[in-house]
Structure 1
Amino acid sequence: MQLYQTTLKLPSFSRGFHIITKEIEKAIEPFSVTTGVINLFIQHTSASLSINENVDPSVREDMESFFNELADEKTHYIHTYEGSDDMPAHIKSSLLGHSLTIPVTGGRLNLGTWQGVYLGEHRDFGGSRKIVITLYGV
């Protein structure tokens, strides 16, 4: 068994949910792990990682609508130093999470047929995002 670690730097994405499965698989290709486990950890408090529908883009739109309704830009938030979208972004990030653990089989993420890894970008102008990838396998 080998342990590998790298950091994937993603470009800026617009606010919403974005499938990043291919970017992750490309980042782990050099390690040639055929069987193992991957942990993904996003190093930000206003973005998140999750797994969901990878085909129909309306799911990502509905996810964005739901979370905006749940944690919208309220006037009573105290933490507004970085803008009115900052505190709602922290709430969404806490609800969805910062890390995922996924099996790796045949050198690829062993996701279900309709599953993809989502980056939840919860800021209007979040900037580039970093994901620490830790891979353990053979």
Structure 2
Amino acid sequence: MLHQSSRMIAVPTRGTGFVEITGAVLNFVADSGVQEGLLTLLLRHTSAGLTITENADPDVLADLTDRLAVLAPRDPSLYRHGTEGPDDMPAHIRTLLTNVQLSIPVLEGRPVLGTWQGIYVVEHRARGSRREVAAHVIGS
């Protein structure tokens, strides 16, 4: 018999950078009781991202932040859209690069992540915000 569970995970951010949510996701899956199934995560925003990347060396996150800044610089002269400030359109571009949805298999009651993998919300705006991740797991 299939079982499913859903939860909103609130993620406060402090401005541009990565916020690891692996622990909150692991707790959600454990609380659901699902042992084998599929976990889906959706970040409900257009100026932040959701990704899986290395969680062992903080230099990885710093390098990724730096490269995203190069790929989508905060230069208002480059964009038409700037309704919410000079970091608005670059944040939307960075969201396309980091995505907003993840699907992760669940085995033995845990998301199947690699040894060095963590789940992150990536804040692309200069100021902090309260972000929400919709989590859903289905399985047996």
Q: Give the structure-1-normalised TM-score.
A: 0.93
Question: d(CA) in 2 for partners of 1:126 and 1:11?
Answer: 7
Who is 2:34 aligned against?
A: 33
**How far 1:18 moved relative to its partner?**
2.4
AA matched with 1:18: V
Q: Give the structure-2-normalised TM-score.
A: 0.92
Question: d(CA) in 1 for partners of 2:72 and 2:13?
Answer: 22
Is there any run of 5+ residues in structure 1 with no aligned partner, and where? none
Segments ≥4 residues shifted beyond 6 Å? none
Tell whether the 8 Å contact from 2:41 to 2:102 is kept in structure 1 after alignment.
Answer: yes
The number of residue pairs the alignment matches comes to 138
Is there any run of 5+ residues in structure 2 with no aligned partner, and where? none
Q: Secondary structure at the match of 1:33?
A: coil
Within the alignment, does 1:89 sit opposite 2:95 as a pair?
no
Cα 1:8–1:19 shift into 2, 3 Å? same
Question: d(CA) in 2 for partners of 1:56 and 1:106?
Answer: 27
Deviates more, 1:61-70 or 1:14-23: 14-23
- Identity among equivalent positions (%) equals 38
Computed over aligned residues only, the root mean square deviation of the Cα atoms, in angstroms, reads 1.3
Within the alignment, does 1:2 sit opposite 2:3 as a pair?
yes
- What do the CA deviations read for 1:13-67 (whole angstroms, capped 9, x no partner)? 3311222111211233321111111000000000011111111000000000000
